[in-house]
Structure 1
């Protein structure tokens, strides 16, 4: 008997056993409370879990449900959990602006429990004293403007390494076709590794500054964890099924976090010992800061597990800049007039005698508009991290029960035709109209989602902006990009994970004097 059939039969039997609960639910729904948001048909007890299990990717099924219901907010019942999906900016602001304090927490899930060593971090942990402690630490001690300036040289080294990697692959006078996904996916983790561990590689590295086996294995584990974080795991909604690991999520996440531990733990433990033995006395990176922070009594502020967990979470935020830069460049190559405007802006602001620096980013409004439009049209994940309702509340005229999971649809918000004219067209100009004097990648009005907003906004949004613009800007400044020979356009087909279905392959030729390009990294 297939598992699907077994699952459906079990659901039917449970429905019969607990029919009384269903009747009570119908009676209570006729009270004076506002109605729940529009919902699809759901089974007693299990709700829409059978549909979630059999329809992949789930976000496509959710989009279909909302289109059928013709609604900007929907309630998908998974077990006893109400999952509220929102595609309206007005409703999104009501949740995260007006009622931010009610939706400040995160659901407890299998994947986030493993990824945070039992909820010791800031981004994925539920609301509480531990979250408050780590939020203060990350905001004021690790990602403050002062710390970002202090780590500038380390970021610059990895940005130079990105340019060097591409340059070495332009190995003939006419240029070469470059697979850009590999260096872009590794750029963010490379910066994180350098600023956290002061290391370029975990091992020996690869050819011409590229990643080695260790880095590739680490990246694969990273993206596996990200794929399974809040991925509608059945046992998150029916906890008594967790031991069965029905969809294999637990095995995948556990295995991937073991790879993180294999590479991170020896570095962290050795560094702690160096400080304890007095062999290390100078603070060099974020790991040193975390080890040397003290509480009011002079004891270490962070436990070893807190350090390990938070460092792992640093790596979880690097997928957005990589995807944004890849999508933006793909769209710009297909529309050469847009690419040319970005080139002209860079040449005007920076020139051809030096490389773009982070201090230039605030002046590169057109380039930021290109990246912002990529975030709007091509989000790297379908939903934001879910918010947990801490109490019963009415939002937009609908009843939102305590314990509901609220998901803002990145695709739904960014491509909402009520908000955006020609929403499926890549058009950076839409972010430059009116009296716009400064373009930011953030979107506080939630017309699309880049770094979210409110108490749960991304603590690394300044760093995320710098990584995105520096990667995209250096690639455009340093190389002339075009469609590969014998092809008419870059294929912009989208995969089920919302990435380009095929990694971006583009023809590159150096456009600056050869002496400008970085030499081999140390």
Structure 2
């Protein structure tokens, strides 16, 4: 924290005496006379003065204190830029659904300093490029007909995961499970992305490159939000580190992309209707669809560059790996802590599948309402992302009685909405029954189209495109893990629900459980 803020302390010592008379509180009037959401003391140049003593890594507890003081909509200034945070579900619905088009854009991010293109689904401005890339992902990879093509991949990954979690019968011992979860989910996403079932060494190399990059972004780039024209020189070493990590990703991804490109060219050769396949090669992959994408260009259309494809593949892997493995760990931790709920879920699984079934299939999970309730309750209480990706106001807009000026960054506090005691009975208790008939969460719509009760996937026009696949993966793996093992708490090493912020919000003390094979 000291490294990130030392330059601000110096600047503050020089500037504050001259500008403090101009200090203003958030909650002042905007250009149109509307009231900007309230917030802490801010001054020109520096923005909110609390940045002199607070690190951006402590943002969530800081925002809780500000909400307790100012209410559920607060503003902070980063330099001259205004950021609004919303913790009220009704204001969130008004902003993201009722005024969705005005808040569908993304703010520019400092990662452009690293030479990253904005042509990805999460970072593209709201416009034709974003629509093209999102439509390609949804129609060509996440559509149910495409998702079914990866059923053998999910079954393979389930076996990999069970093997990672299984001890020799003579040496049962408690297991820290999060690494196995991450590895399994990454195996699945790598296969879906590149169409190839890679060996463990290759998967781990790609995983290390991806994770190093994500942790760098989460921990080292926030400082560039403060006047990047200056901080890019002050923190030149960080930029060099980021560029090296991006080069490493490209070295890992481009050969796999080229392999699918060569396969496609071979298939398209006249007289060669199908290329010879290896046992590890899958018929379809996300990269296959990217090879066909044509972006609008000044001269008409163009193919994606290798750099753009690397960015899109990185985005694909990121979107489905850490988020899913994090949610899976939280859900299994709750089942360890609540054995009666685990028993009830196991009874449902047994009643819907026969003893001769090797696994709980995707079709089986469709008829398991309690399984779905367990997953929804996990996502309500423990959303992997406590904030959505930031939005940018395309125009002045009034929401919840406040003015959000054009160009302001807006974010939404996902965890606060799902844990709001005014909306949920005993919100910090794990009660899957709330999502069954008669419960306070009956019929909840996670898309938030009619109203927001919880929003683990975001809401509105920039809602997570992989919502359906994420729910499928969580239901499938939770069901199979409970069918395969009884999960028991370890005496002296009890489950601890303390949170820690990484790329997602993870368990500060990773889940350690005793796994007993079911008869």
Question: Which whole-Å deviations, capped at 9, do the CAs of 1:444-471 have from their partners, x for residues lacking one?
Answer: 5332222112210111111111111112
Alignment CA distance shift 1:295-1:309 (3 Å): closer
Contact 2:154 2:188 in 1 (8 A): yes
1:198 aligns with 2:195: yes
Residue aligned with 1:102, SS: helix
1:434-473 to 2 correspondence within 5 Å?
A: 434=438, 444=449, 445-473=451-479
Alignment CA distance shift 1:240-1:460 (3 Å): same
In the other structure, the counterpart of 1:154 is 153
| Matches of 2:369 and 2:211, distance apart in 1 | 34
| Matches of 1:290 and 1:30, distance apart in 2 | 43
| Matches of 1:38 and 1:31, distance apart in 2 | 16
Quote how far apart the aligned CAs of 1:264 are. 0.7
Alignment CA distance shift 1:382-1:343 (3 Å): same
1:47-446 to 2 correspondence within 5 Å?
A: 47-48=47-48, 51=51, 54-55=54-55, 56-69=57-70, 71-111=71-111, 114=114, 117-167=116-166, 170-172=167-169, 175-201=172-198, 204-205=199-200, 213-221=204-212, 223-224=214-215, 227-228=218-219, 233-244=222-233, 246=235, 250-251=239-240, 253-276=242-265, 281-282=274-275, 283-292=283-292, 302-317=304-319, 318-354=321-357, 355-434=359-438, 444=449, 445-446=451-452
Alignment CA distance shift 1:440-1:182 (3 Å): farther
Quote how far apart the aligned CAs of 1:177 are. 1.6
| Matches of 1:360 and 1:39, distance apart in 2 | 50
| Matches of 1:188 and 1:428, distance apart in 2 | 24
Quote how far apart the aligned CAs of 1:96 are. 0.5
Residue aligned with 1:481, SS: strand
In the other structure, the counterpart of 2:278 is none
Contact 2:434 2:442 in 1 (8 A): no
Contact 2:104 2:462 in 1 (8 A): yes
| Matches of 1:423 and 1:129, distance apart in 2 | 41
Quote how far apart the aligned CAs of 1:247 are. 10
Residue aligned with 1:194, SS: helix
Contact 1:369 1:439 in 2 (8 A): no
Residue aligned with 1:399, SS: strand
Quote how far apart the aligned CAs of 1:386 are. 0.8
| Structure 2 residue corresponding to 1:501, chosen from 501, 508, 513 | 508
Alignment CA distance shift 1:43-1:18 (3 Å): closer
| Matches of 1:113 and 1:146, distance apart in 2 | 39
Quote how far apart the aligned CAs of 1:112 are. 6.8
| Matches of 2:156 and 2:349, distance apart in 1 | 20
| Matches of 1:417 and 1:248, distance apart in 2 | 45
Contact 1:113 1:119 in 2 (8 A): no
Larger deviation: 295-304 or 258-267? 295-304
Contact 1:106 1:386 in 2 (8 A): yes
| Matches of 1:153 and 1:199, distance apart in 2 | 12
Alignment CA distance shift 1:45-1:25 (3 Å): farther
CA root-mean-square deviation = 3.3
Question: Which whole-Å deviations, capped at 9, do the CAs of 1:123-178 have from their partners, x for residues lacking one?
Answer: 222223221221221122222222112222223222232223223xx212573322
Quote how far apart the aligned CAs of 1:183 are. 1.3
Contact 1:36 1:398 in 2 (8 A): yes
Contact 1:443 1:451 in 2 (8 A): no
Larger deviation: 286-295 or 467-476? 286-295
Aligned pairs, number: 498
Contact 1:176 1:509 in 2 (8 A): no
Larger deviation: 395-404 or 270-279? 270-279
Residue aligned with 2:499, SS: coil
Alignment CA distance shift 1:302-1:103 (3 Å): same
Residue aligned with 1:351, SS: coil
| Matches of 2:122 and 2:326, distance apart in 1 | 20
Quote how far apart the aligned CAs of 1:291 are. 2.1
Alignment CA distance shift 1:390-1:58 (3 Å): same
| Matches of 2:52 and 2:238, distance apart in 1 | 14
| Matches of 1:493 and 1:19, distance apart in 2 | 39
Question: Which whole-Å deviations, capped at 9, do the CAs of 1:473-504 have from their partners, x for residues lacking one?
Answer: 111110111112x3373222222443111211
